Every structure is written in C-alpha cells, then in structure tokens.
Structure 1
Amino acid sequence: MPIFPGLVRWDEVHAGAIDHAIRFTVGCTSSHFIWPARHEAGSSDHRCPPMGARFRLKAGYNTSSFSSDARVVLTAMKHYGMILADNGSDWYFQGEVNNHWTNSLLDQLKRIPASAFVAVDESACQIGPSSAAFAYGPGCPAP
C-alpha cells in the first residue's frame, strides 16, 4: 500500500484535522490480503490480521485526558481508522519526519492499547478488485 497517503503530517495536526485513514504495522500478518491492499507479506498463522484490514478507535474511547494535538490524531483514528499497510512493530503508525513532533505527544499516543480498536468490515465499499476507490452508499457509509 502507498506510504505517503497514510502518514500523519504535522501540518494536519497543527491545522486541527486529519482527513484520512492512518497506516500502521503489526509484527505478524496473515498470508492473504483484503481490499484495499494489493499484496500479502505474512505467515500462515491464521491469528494474524491480513494486509488491508481497517481498525477504528472505539467511539466511546475517552480522549479528554489527551493534549489537543493528540486528540486530532485520535479523532482521525475514530473517524477514518487505521489501515494495516506493512509488517513491523505492533500497532506502530507513522508520521512524516518533522521537528515539531514532541516526545510528549508520541508518549500519549503510545498509551492506547490495541483493545481500544475494533475491526471494520468495509467490503461493501469496494468498487472493484483493481481499484482503491470507495463506493460510499447504504452498505458503505462515509466515515
């Protein structure tokens, strides 16, 4: 999956809104993929999620103790979710290289457990197997 479209960018956080899903990695992915991914890179372990899986932060997850910058990221995670895009560290999401990121912000975001997310079935959103475009409608409401 493309890297840049899923990165968290400082200008988005500074402006107060991220309007896309965030890419993330896990240590173990299954040997198949689901749309919108185009490849697999995993193992035969059926307990591992497939590339392309989308997870959203639970709507009821309390974000009141987080900084305003962290809440911008968390709001995007609730609204658009995160898409499994590569193998790597567990629940690791990426941002652009930028000197404005602070350890405090990163430490806050690292506190969110995987159990705070739910898997999203977006199979009804698929236009076609060779397209990453979404078909919003009754079976696939816009985030």
Structure 2
Amino acid sequence: MSSHDPDSQELEGRPSRRAFVVLAGAGVAALGAAGIAATSGFLRPQQPAAPGAGAQPAAPAQPAEPAQPAWTRGSRLFSADSPWNTPIPQNPAIDPASAAVQKAVLRNPKLVVNTILYSYGIPFYTATASTPRRQLRGRGAFDDPIPLDPSWRPNAGGDRKMNVLDPQRGLVYELQGYDAANRSAYWAVTRDIVNDKGDGGTSFGRTGPTGSGLSQAAGVVRIDEIRAGRIDHALSFITADPARGFRYPATHGDGSNTAAGAIQEGMRVQLDPALDLTTLDLTDAERAIGRALQVYGAFCSDTGRGNNMAMGFYMEKPTAGTGDPYKAAGLPEDWAQLKNIPRSAYRVLAASVTKR
C-alpha cells in the first residue's frame, strides 16, 4: 500500500504489495500476572467465586485454565496509554479541516466505508513453546530465528500479511510479503517497541509495516471482539488517496494528494458520541464498531490506491483455529460495508495526541 515500495503493484480496489517484518512489544503481557482476565473481549478484574447459599454444597472446583498472557486471548495490544488505547476526551477539539474532509471523503457517495475481512484481512497466529523457530530468508531475514509454524499462511491478497503473537517474549512479529513455502519476505525491518515504548507506533525512520509507520497489528478488529460485541481500542483504516504529509501517531506518510479535504495519515476520525446507536437498526458488528468509533475513534494507517474506500477498517482474517463469526454478526462477505452507520456523523479530530 505504500508508495515507497519499489515493487508495489496497484491492484484493483486492493492494497499494493510490500513486505516487512516488525517486532512490536505487546505492552500488556504482564496484566495476566496482575489479576486481569480477558472476558468477553475486554479486560475485567477477576472476582472471587461467591460462597454457596444456605446448606447447599459448594460446586466442585473447575480445572484451572492454563496460564497465558492476557493479550493472547483477545485483549487489546500495546500499553494502556498508547494512542490506540486512549479514549477520546469529552468535547475534543475538531480539526479545522474536518468539514472539508467530510465533504470530500467521509460523506462522498462515490466512496464506501467498509471492512477488510478475508483476502486482505490480517490473520493472527500465537506461538507457543513448541512452535518451531525458523530462519526467515531473503530480504526479510533476521539474525535470529522467529516462530514460524509450517501451517501458518498469510492472507491471499497481494500484500500477503500475517501477525505472529509471541507471548514467551512479549512480541508481535508483523510480516508482509510472506512466502510460506520459502520462509521469506520481500523486505524486513525490526522494531523494538516493548514496555514503555509499546505504543503501537515507531520512531525508527521512514520505512515500516505501513505507509504511516504504524504497527499493522494495532487497531485491527479481532475475531474475539466481534464475538463479544465490544472493541476497546481505536481502529485502523486505509483510505483511497491520502493527503501529502502526516501527523502523530504516524511517523511518516506516503500520500500525495494535494486536494482540499484529503485524509492525512495519522488523522483520527470519530463517530459523533451524541449519536444514539440504540435508535439505529444496526447489525451486531456495526454496533460494536460504532461504539469503538465513538469512544476511541480510528487512525488512518495506510493508503489503498486504486480502491473506492473512504475508510476501510482492518479486521482479523479467520484461520483454522478461530472460526468465522462475521456472517452471524452481519458482515456477509469480504469488503462488507457499514451501511447503517450514518456517515454524516463522522468527524475529524484535531491532532491533540501528544507524543510520549
């Protein structure tokens, strides 16, 4: 999707081909040890079991679930104060360009607001202690082997993406242009954004997993979140023809559009929280996504030249181990549109997030 890729291919309505591998710190792996559990797709404190009533015998104890970091079970990635995990304050400043962006992009009837589910959706895999660690070949090679199960496959789109969660090391390996047969990737960069730097962005120059330099794992709507009907982080979207320049949390931009109202990479779009979602005839997926857009908003992370998207939201691609909740949630096909969320309620926020 990035114009700085020398081998980019503009596919019809699809992102172009590029390959990267990124290590990103999860930033929340220690929550499991602090008594936080992932319940219904978001974090809740664990509560002790209620005592039995009257003289009734206590229920038999259930086997303990194997310990694993909370972020492998669908909770949000990166640090709590990451821009991705920071709720939008009340009465936020509206960007001076918001009206122009609404007219040119967000309300433009020639463009769509949709979901990226299958061909370009991003699969997630979780490494375990027994996952083979293999040397990545080609320009995507690392000095050290990374966890790569032979059965793992990237998406089928031209960018061939997948993310690998490594709870043993608290990392996310982000692969693009991955060739499973040859264990190779077209291009690789290494990002170490663990612990206090685990914000889902980067400050390591102009190359990265996306045109904006933002993590390709950040903002992806996970399958467990759709099942739970709750998303507790900002979303990541691509737009057809982004503006030149960028803003934080993006570290660079690959847009070239100079027209008034073009979306700039790093821009944060919010669904007006004054909109009462309960009065709308929404699907389960639209309701969960709409709430997240009101509370956290969405960041423009990349360009999708050649498509007709005002905003295309990245979703987790189903794999053999996840099942597929999308049709039941009201997303019947790849590129399913969010038609029941009124586009007149989208607005662009001023760049108020301060780099840490």
> Could you state the TM-score of these two structures normalised by the residue count of structure 1?
0.77
Deviation string 1:69-121 (CA, Å, 9 cap, x unpaired) is 42111100110001001112321111000222118623562443543211112
Structure 1 gaps of 5+ residues are 129-143
Which position in structure 2 is the counterpart of 1:54? 268
Rg comparison, structure with higher value:
2
**Alignment partner for residue 80 of structure 1, among 286, 289, 296?**
296
**2:283 aligned with 1:67:** yes
Cα distance in 1 for partners of 2:351, 2:257 equals: 23
Identity of aligned residues (%): 30
SS at structure 1 position matched to 2:224: helix
Q: Is the 8 A contact 2:286 2:340 kept in 1?
A: no
- Equivalent residues of 1:91, 1:114 under 8 A apart: no
Match of 1:92 in 2: 312
Please point out which of 12, 15, 26 is paired with 2:225. Answer: 12
In the alignment, the residues of structure 2 paired with residue 108 and residue 43 of structure 1 have an alpha-carbon distance, to the nearest angstrom, of 26
The offset of 1:55, in angstroms, is 0.5
The more displaced of 41-50 and 104-113 is 104-113
Letter in 2 for 1:94: Y
For 1:92, the aligned partner's letter is G
Work out whether residues 270 and 294 of structure 2, in 8 Å CA contact, stay in contact via their aligned partners in 1. yes
Q: Indicate conservation of the 8 Å contact 2:270/2:348, yes or no.
A: yes
For residues 239 and 257 of structure 2, what CA distance do their matches in structure 1 show? 15
Letter in structure 2 aligned against 1:118: R
Amino acid at match of 1:33: F
- Alpha carbons of 1:67 and 1:114: their partners in 2 closer, same or farther (altered >3 Å)? closer
Post-superposition Cα deviations, 1:19-73, rounded to whole Å, max 9, x if no partner, equal: 1100011111111000000111111414212110001011133423113342111
Q: 1:3 to 1:110 in 2, by over 3 A?
A: farther
Paired position in structure 2 for 1:135: none
In 1, distance between residues paired with 2:252 and 2:234?
18
* Greater mean alpha carbon deviation, residues 89-98 or residues 31-40: 89-98
Aligned partner of 1:126 in structure 2 is 354
Q: Does the Cα contact within 8 Å between 2:241 and 2:257 map onto a contact in 1?
A: no
1:105 to 324, 330, 333: 330
The TM-score with structure 2 as length reference comes to 0.33
Bigger helix share: 1
Higher relative contact order (CA 8 A, sep 6+): 1
Check the 8 A contact 1:70/1:108 in 2, yes or no: no
What value does the CA root-mean-square deviation take over the aligned residues? 2.1
